[in-house]
Amino acid sequence: MARLRKHPILAAFGALLLVAVIVVAWAAVVVWRAAHHDDASEVAHADVIVVLGAAQYNGTPSPVFQGRLDHALLLWTQGRAGIVYTVGSKQPGDRTTEAAAGRDYLVANGVPAASVVVLPVGHTTLQSLQAVAAEMRRGDLGSAFLVSDPWHNARLEAMSTDLGFRGYTSATWTSAATSEGARGQGYLRETFAYLEYRLLGR
């Protein structure tokens, strides 16, 4: 303690480091807890089901995207909502969008085309959810099941609240991210993404 008093800059740095560690640990706990809770276990129905986009290859969903779509399909067949939103733009060189690829997959697996709303918007989660919020306002809708990978749940919940609708997270555990390494990377990446959104709003 006496040494720290003699070196106030060192003491300040140590205090800042401690605060940073506590904040990161708090975010990690929030992300972990949200990932292991499925709102569909408590909420029977919402106005819509939203499938967050992921990579697609010339209209074919990637394994990660297919896992999300299959979970959305499960919710739809259970009667959890009568409308499914698919979201996501396209990367340079793509012939179609994530949203369109998602719609085609769902329709091919039994969802009526009239029940799928395509929102080909968003290179980020926030951009996609902003498009979802705008579409829901146009339809006077207030709640949505949000389908993505589990580690996204905390950020999806925060964003939906900030955008003015009730977001119930129901994640897939059957995407390509099944190895411990891939899941660990997902939790680590999302811990800092959650902090970035909370601190900077993006």
CATH number at residue 161: 3.40.50.620
The residue that leads in pLDDT, 184 or 148, is 148
Q: Tens of pLDDT along 44-61?
A: 999 999 999 999 999 999
CA distance 184 to 164: 31
Whether 49 is covered by a domain: the verdict is yes
pLDDT in tens, 83-96: 999 999 988 888 89
Q: Is residue 32 part of a domain?
A: no
Backbone angles phi, psi at 86, to 5 degrees: -110, 135
Instruction: Give the pLDDT of residue 82.
Output: 94
Q: Please check whether residue 13 lies inside any domain of the structure.
A: no
Is residue 196 in a domain?
A: no
Strand-pair partners of 84: 49, 116
The answer, yes or no, to whether residue 194 has pLDDT greater than 90, is yes
Q: Is residue 5 part of a domain?
A: no
User: Mean pLDDT, to the nearest integer, of 30-46?
Assistant: 95
Q: Which residues contact 14 (CB under 8 A, 6 or more apart)?
A: 4
What is the domain count for the chain? 1
pLDDT digits (tens, 9 = 90+) for 147-179: 999 999 999 999 999 999 999 999 998 765 566
Asked if the structure places residue 137 within a domain, the reply is yes
Contacts by 185-191, CB closer than 8 A, 24 or more apart: 186/149, 186/150, 186/151, 187/28, 187/31, 187/32, 187/35, 187/151, 189/151, 190/31, 190/151, 190/152, 190/154, 190/155, 191/24, 191/27, 191/28, 191/31
Per-residue confidence (pLDDT) for residue 26, from 0 to 100: 92
* N-terminal to C-terminal alpha carbon distance within the chain: 40
Structure pTM?
Answer: 0.88
Give me the helix-helix angle, 180-200 and 8-35, nearest 10°.
Answer: 120
Rounded to whole angstroms, the Cα distance separating 122 from 114 reads 22
DSSP, collapsed to helix, strand or coil, labels residue 199 as helix
Which residue is listed with tokens 């003699």?
A: 6
Whether residue 24 lies inside any domain: the answer is no
For CA atoms 120, 123, 126, 127, give the dihedral sign.
negative
Torsions phi, psi for 50 (to 5 deg): -115, 125
Mean pLDDT of 68-74: 97
- 3-state class percentages of the chain: helix first, strand second, coil last, to nearest 5: 55, 10, 30
Quick check: is 141 in a domain?
yes
* pLDDT in the model for residue 83: 97
Domain that holds residue 74: 38-177
